[in-house]
Amino acid sequence: ARFVTEFEVEHIIVSPSRRGAVEVEQAYLEFVVLPNLHVKTGAILMPLGIINLTHEPPTFYGVERPLVDRTIIPSTWWSAGIQLTHRLETGIEYDLMVSEGLKTQDPTSVANAQPFNIRLGKQKASFADAFDPAITGRIRYSGIPGLELAVFGQYQFDLDQSADDSYADDATLFGANIIYGWRNFEFRGLYARWDLYGELAADAEQDVQQGGYVELSYKPIEKLGVFVRQSIWSLETSLENMQTDIGLNWWPYSNIVFKFDYQFQNEDAGDVDGFNLGMGYQF
> What are 21-39's pLDDT values in tens digits?
788 889 999 999 998 999 9
- The answer to whether the peptide bond before residue 76 is cis (omega within 30 degrees of 0) is yes
pLDDT at 222 over 90: yes
What are the backbone dihedrals phi and psi of residue 54, each rounded to the nearest 5 degrees, phi first? -130, 90
- At 87 the three-state DSSP class reads strand
List beta partners, residue 92. 141
- pLDDT reported for residue 22: 80
Dist CA 271 CA 12 (whole Å): 30
**Average pLDDT for 73-84:** 94
Quote the pTM value. Answer: 0.92
- CA 241-245-248 angle, to 5 degrees, is 165
Side chain identity at residue 5, one-letter code: T
pLDDT at 76 over 70: yes
CA dihedral angle for residue 201, residue 202, residue 207, residue 211, rounded to 10 degrees: -130
pLDDT at 283: 82
Predicted pLDDT at 216: 98
Residue 9 pLDDT exceeds 80: no
Element (H, E) at 69: helix 67-71
**Cα–Cα distance measured from residue 3 to residue 27, given in angstroms and rounded to the nearest whole number:** 7
Is the pLDDT confidence value at 17 over 80?
Answer: no
CB 14 within 8 A of CB 20: yes
pLDDT band at 48 (very low <50, low <70, confident <90, very high): very high
Q: What is the mean pLDDT of residues 139-158?
A: 96
Q: Which pLDDT score, from 0 to 100, does residue 258 have?
A: 98
Q: What is the bridge-based pairing of β-strands 274-281 and 21-34?
A: unpaired
Per-residue pLDDT of 169-210, as tens digits, reads 899 999 999 999 999 999 999 999 999 998 889 998 999 999
Confidence of residue 130 (pLDDT cuts 50, 70, 90): confident
The yes-or-no verdict on residue 165 having pLDDT over 70 is: no
Diameter of the chain by CA atoms?
59
- Give backbone dihedrals phi and psi of 16, rounded to 5 degrees, phi first: -60, -25
Does residue 159 contact residue 168 with C-beta atoms inside 8 Å? yes
Average pLDDT, the chain: 92
How much is the pLDDT for 77?
A: 94
Contact 168, 198 (CB under 8 A): yes
Identify the CA nearest to 187 among candidates 214, 223, 209, 205: 214
CB 58 within 8 A of CB 251: yes
How far apart are alpha carbons 99 and 40 in whole angstroms? 11
Q: Which residues pair with 260 in a beta bridge?
A: 248, 277
